[in-house]
Amino acid sequence: MEFSSKLLENAVNEMSQLPGIGKRTALRLMLHLLRQPKEQTSDLSKALSNMRNDIKLCKNCNNISDNDLCEICANPNRLEDIVCVVEDIRDVMAIENTSSFRGLYHVLGGKISPMDGIGPNDLNIQPLVKKVKSGKITELIFALGSTMEGDTTNFYIYKQIQEFKVKTSTIARGISVGNELEYTDEVTLGRSIINRIPFEASLKS
Amino acid sequence: MEFSSKLLENAVNEMSQLPGIGKRTALRLMLHLLRQPKEQTSDLSKALSNMRNDIKLCKNCNNISDNDLCEICANPNRLEDIVCVVEDIRDVMAIENTSSFRGLYHVLGGKISPMDGIGPNDLNIQPLVKKVKSGKITELIFALGSTMEGDTTNFYIYKQIQEFKVKTSTIARGISVGNELEYTDEVTLGRSIINRIPFEASLKS
């Protein structure tokens, strides 16, 4: 691509470094910005640099936050002894939306994935082990995605904390609410039969 | 969506104002930026505001440029009397890539589209009429997309300049190079038969 303007070329190049945005899309976005009032671009530009420079990670759970402690960890009404282990802030947001969890989170910042060169030391695992060791946690809920990487990460953490005799659980895998059996894949359906729950318990949830 | 950080929320909101980028995509992009070195975000942020604040439109052709005259208009080797009318800079880049045009461009900045509320006065049409009126142009090539809006715009400009007796042409519509007849739509195929060219002429291109 040959540009008639270095300024435009530079902006397109920077924008197309974002995942999923190619040069053509970036050019389309830049032409859109050029048609809009200057304020929109300056607002975007400021919001980006403010976010990157001023954002913090919660000292306790490693979640993205504006303060040293995130709103969830700072909330005195949350149960401090139940900790839900998640990959990133998107999972925290997804679980918070369900309003079915009253404990705290622990954000790993990723999953163990040798294919992507991510090992246990690249993740926020040691602080979690320390937390468990301190004895303040009664239950650890593994809430990573149901993938090979998620299962590996669960198992690695489990091995690290096994000796401390904390109760561990993992979120249930089974058929989605509203789904028909015939459209569910066999692994999921098989697991949902093996991990069946008492009918009385199902009435409560 | 509830965010644990106002800074992140603000950045996601600004980003999702760009066309084709929703809140989820914007969040994914922001989390990517947070994992990268701070320089990437500051480079992006600077490139955006520099582009929006310092970019110019060529005085002659209205193309995006870093200077008062764009590189094409400033090039003494281009033929000044042949002008190609296009919608925006992407079309200029596309035609320049073919290396088959040696004249100048005139960028309209859009097409007449009553559905989108774009009338002739919102486009860079009057300066084109003036240019034609001055008598320096011998041929005007209409190179807008082959759509209802493109045809309307062509016809509007044609009506405006008709009295000045300038030669006008429009880019050929026909089957794409490398295409089979059976996969070509009938309107295009019909036009390519009506507008057939001498076989000897086709040998040269």
For chain A positions 26-45, those within 8 Å of chain B (CB to CB) are 27-34, 38, 40-45
pLDDT tens digits along B67-106: 999 999 999 999 999 999 999 899 999 999 888 899 999 9
Facing A10 at nearest CB: one of B2, B47, B71: B47
CATH number at residue B91: 3.40.1360.10
Report chain A's C-alpha Rg in angstroms.
Answer: 22
d(CA B28, CA A19): 9
A95 and A13 belong to one structural domain = no
pLDDT tens digits along A144-183: 988 899 999 999 999 999 888 889 998 888 888 888 888 8
Facing B7 at nearest CB: one of A21, A66, A88: A66
Facing A64 at nearest CB: one of B8, B96, B97: B8
Q: What is the DSSP letter of B120?
A: G
pLDDT score recorded for residue A174: 84
Residue B192 lies in a domain: no
pLDDT score recorded for residue A122: 92
Q: Best interface-test mutation with B: which of A3, A52, A70, A116 has the largest number of B CBs within 10 A?
A: A52
A77 and A151 belong to one structural domain = yes
B171 — phi, psi (to 5°)?
A: -60, 150
Nearest to A63 by CA among A50, A53, A74: A74
d(CA B205, CA A31): 33
Residue B112 lies in a domain: yes
ipTM above 0.85, yes or no: no
d(CA A140, CA A125): 13
Cβ atoms A12, A23 nearer than 8 A: yes
Residue A112 lies in a domain: yes
Nearest chain B residue to A95 by CA distance is: B2
Residue B75 lies in a domain: yes
B76 and B154 belong to one structural domain = yes
* Structure tokens belonging to residue B36: 């990268």
B73 and B33 belong to one structural domain = no
d(CA B18, CA A32): 8
A44 and A111 belong to one structural domain = no
CA distance A14 to chain B (A): 5
Residue type, B136: K
Residue B190 lies in a domain: no
CA distance B93 to chain A (A): 7
A96 and A139 belong to one structural domain = yes
Contact A93/B at CB under 8 A: yes
Residues of A in contact with B21 (CB under 8 A): 29
Contact A197/B at CB under 8 A: no
Nearest to A155 by CA among A204, A205, A104, A85: A85
CA dihedral B192→B193→B197→B203, nearest 10 degrees, is: 70
Residue type, B102: R
pLDDT score recorded for residue B205: 62
Burial of A113 (0-12, 13-18, 19+ CB in 10 A): middle
d(CA B79, CA B71): 14
Residues of A in contact with B48 (CB under 8 A): 11, 14-15, 33, 41, 44-45, 48
CA distance B75 to chain A (A): 12
Residues in contact with A135: Cβ distance below 8 Å, sequence separation at least 6, in sequence order: A164
A118 and A156 belong to one structural domain = yes
Beta bridge partners of A85: A106, A142
Residues of A in contact with B6 (CB under 8 A): 66
Facing B64 at nearest CB: one of A5, A20, A32: A5
Residue B197 lies in a domain: no
pLDDT tens digits along B91-150: 999 999 888 899 999 999 999 999 989 999 999 999 999 999 998 899 999 999 888 999
Residue A88 has pLDDT above 70, yes or no: yes
CA distance B68 to chain A (A): 11
Residues of B in contact with A8 (CB under 8 A): 51, 55, 64, 89
Nearest chain A residue to B109 by CA distance is: A35
The answer to whether the CB atoms of B66 and A7 lie below 8 A apart is: yes
- In the block, tokens 């089974």 appear at A174
Domain carrying residue A97: 68-171
B105 — phi, psi (to 5°)?
A: -110, 165
Residue A87 has pLDDT above 70, yes or no: yes
Residue B196 lies in a domain: no
CATH number at residue A10: 1.10.8.420
Residue A205 has pLDDT above 70, yes or no: no
Cβ atoms A51, B30 nearer than 8 A: yes
Q: Percent of chain A at pLDDT above 90?
A: 66
pLDDT tens digits along A7-31: 999 999 999 999 999 999 999 999 9
Residues of A in contact with B97 (CB under 8 A): 2
A44 and A73 belong to one structural domain = no
Cβ atoms A105, A92 nearer than 8 A: yes
* Structure tokens belonging to residue B72: 């094409």
Residue B187 lies in a domain: no
B50 and B77 belong to one structural domain = no
Beta bridge partners of A83: A104, A140
B163 and B95 belong to one structural domain = yes
Q: What is the DSSP letter of A133?
A: H
Facing B32 at nearest CB: one of A19, A44, A65: A19
Residue type, A122: D
Residues of A in contact with B37 (CB under 8 A): none
A16 — phi, psi (to 5°)?
A: -80, 5
Residue B17's H or E segment, with its range, is none
Paired sense of beta strands A64-65 and A79-86, if any: unpaired
* Structure tokens belonging to residue A142: 């593994």
A120 and A150 belong to one structural domain = yes
Cβ atoms A193, A172 nearer than 8 A: no
Number of domains chain A is built from: 2
A48 and A105 belong to one structural domain = no
Contact B81/A at CB under 8 A: no
Residues of A in contact with B17 (CB under 8 A): 40, 44
